[in-house]
Amino acid sequence: MSLPKNFLWGASTSAYQVEGAYNEDGKGLSVQDVKDPFPGTPNFNVCSDHYHHYKEDVALFAEMGLKAYRFSIAWTRILPTGSGEVNPKGVEFYSNLIDECLKYGIEPIVTMYHFDLPNELDKVGGWTNPKTMDAFVEFATILFKEYGTRVKYWLTINEQNMMILYGPIIGTTKPGQEHLLYQSNHYMLLAQAKVFKLCHDMIPDAKIGPAPNISVNYPHTSKPEDNLAVLYINAVRNWLYLDIAVWGKYNPIALDYMHKKGFKLDVSDEEMEILKAGKPDFIAFNYYSTATFEGPSADVKPNPEADQQIGLSDEAFYAGVKNEFLPFTDFGWQIDPLGFRTTMMEMYARYHLPLLITENGLGAYDRVEEDGSINDDYRIDYLKQHITELKHTVEAGVDVIGYCPWSAIDLISTHQGFEKRYGFIYVNRDNDDLKDLSRMKKKSFFWYKELIEENAESL
Ligand code: BG6
């Protein structure tokens, strides 16, 4: 079984986690720049300093053989206050980055918004305010105009579902706004639908898709209550977002959840028409792990061990539990390559759209040996297992157009600092000391290069 010759072998980053230069060249502040970092983790001011090292970094990506680089554009570099005045230096930076990729034949895959809402918009309510929706459309119009002839793959919003379910951890929602959560979600979905349409109108030969984090989940036992819990979590975590993105329809199970939880949702007929009119060309998605759930009961408490990025608990509906059949990463995330296959097959059977994997990877403590080598065999092993399942998925008839693991280069984790590394390229800094920020190729760099060269035929 072979993958298509034009398969987009890539790797990913996001602006606020990799760029640094948080206040340089006219950039405005985002919610990530002003939040209090988690204890023991650094702020996002310097990150991997990709802003100043982008030429060196893209040259390394080219050496690794990448066919695609998925990065995000910091909204506040283009529009420092979120809307209104455009910052020419910010426009120029991404223009240069895109050109640098194209110089090496690397396809730029651009995420428009990756967790870094402009702080000025946040001050007036963020996504609870429908004006943010207009600002996003304004931002998108600038991006399509500036880069539309060069960028053919666009992603609207990274992990909207995680921003809703994990907002306080990611730094995208504020305590006390829970009752407005699903109304904000609705505005984001509307903004996305408008931008799908705008993209097709302005750059008809480009493709655009959503980029949620999707994984199908398991019932802990065959107890009917556990199965019901999984029905709810799959709807609330996955299908709510994709049903609207693809079909323009609210998922009824998710609506029932919102209703029972007392979440306010004000939706007009006209808005439903907008949601229906915006269509994606593909589904981009991030996958790290599945999670396992049991039904709610008086004695079920949220399980901190399962309560990582993917494990969720909601006392009235589902409780995340540990899956005893799966191993854990250093940071407590369960590893489930077969779940990757199940997730893709289920998504494809539901929506019949091409799939693009925009994140998948292993966060680990990497060690530089005395000879300068970084022997991240655990990462190679993780990726190998997932790519093997990807091949099985394609063999089963699923249209997968590319694979962009997280991350192209080391960067700062959303809430677990710099020591949780994902990259193929090591960045010489740690949580407290910026050191020289020099780049070093990990063992996985050489492994991925070979894999791309042989189009994963050996797996
Ligand atoms: C995804 C995000 O949630 O997972 C990335 O899109 C993030 O921004 C990645 O970095 C890994 O999560 P974490 O918490 O380990 O950084």
What strands, in cross-sheet order, belong to the sheet with 207-211?
207-211, 153-158, 107-113, 68-72, 8-12, 400-403, 355-359, 283-286
Contact in structure between 197 and 226 (CB atoms under 8 Å): no
Q: What is the pLDDT of residues 190-241, one digit of tens each?
A: 999 999 999 999 999 999 999 999 999 999 999 999 999 999 999 999 999 9
The CA distances from residue 113 to 74, 118, 159, 406, in Å, are 7, 10, 10, 17
Give how far Cα 401 sits from Cα of 29, 158, 340, 414, 459, Å.
Answer: 35, 18, 15, 27, 18
Q: pTM of the prediction?
A: 0.96
Give the containing element (helix H, strand E) for 292. Answer: strand 292-294
Spacing, Cα 412 to ligand 1 middle (Å): 9
**Do 428 and 438 contact (CB within 8 A), yes or no?**
yes
Could you give the CA distance from residue 96 to residue 90 in angstroms, rounded to a whole number?
A: 10
Q: Which DSSP state fits 38?
A: P
Q: How far apart are CA 343 and CA 322, in angstroms?
A: 19
Annotated catalytic sites, by residue? 159, 359
Measured from the Cα of 363, ligand 1's closest atom is 15
Altogether, the residues listed in the chain come to a count of 459
Q: Determine if ligand 1 sits within 6 Å of the CB of residue 71.
A: no
Alpha carbon of 173 to ligand 1 centroid (Å): 16
For residue 336, which phi and psi values (nearest 5 degrees)? -140, 80
Beta carbon of 286 within 6 Å of any ligand 1 atom:
yes
| β-bridge pairing 439-441 and 425-427 | antiparallel
Handedness of CA 407, 410, 412, 417 (dihedral sign): positive
Note the helical H segments in 80-223. Answer: 88-103, 119-123, 130-147, 160-170, 181-202
Domain residue spans of the chain: 8-453
* Bridge pairing between strands 292-294 and 318-321: antiparallel
Short-list 169, 189, 117, 115, CA closest to 311: 169
Residue 359 near ligand 1, beta carbon < 6 Å: yes
Alpha-carbon distance of 92 to 326, in angstroms, equals 46
Task: State if residue 159 touches ligand 1 by the CB under 6 angstroms criterion.
Answer: yes
Low-confidence stretches of the chain (pLDDT beneath 70) = 297-312
Rounded to 10 deg, the angle between the 160-170 and 240-247 helix axes is: 140
- For 137-160, the pLDDT digits (tens) are 999 999 999 999 999 999 999 999
Those residues whose C-beta lies under 8 Å from the C-beta of residue 383, and which sit 6 or more positions away, are: 360, 361, 362, 405, 444, 447, 448
Selection from 106, 210, 208, 197 nearest residue 163 by Cα: 210
Contacts by residues 307-313 (CB-CB < 8 Å, ≥ 24 positions apart): 308/332, 308/333, 308/334, 309/162, 309/166, 309/213, 309/333, 310/213, 310/215, 310/334, 312/165, 312/233, 312/237
Pocket perturbation via mutation, ligand 1, pick of 112, 161, 309 by most ligand atoms within 8 A of CB: 309
Burial of 269 (0-12, 13-18, 19+ CB in 10 A): exposed
What separation in Å is there between the alpha carbon of 363 and the centre of ligand 1? 9
C-alpha count within 13 angstroms, C-beta hemisphere, residue 328: 14
Cβ–ligand 1 distance for 14 under 6 Å, the answer yes
List the CATH code of the domain at 8-453.
Answer: 3.20.20.80
pLDDT for res 296: 80
In whole angstroms, give the CA distance from residue 232 to residue 202: 38
Return the sign of the alpha-carbon dihedral for residues 171, 176, 182, 185: negative
Q: Give the model's pLDDT for residue 309.
A: 47
**Residue nearest (by alpha carbon) to ligand 1 atom 15:** 413
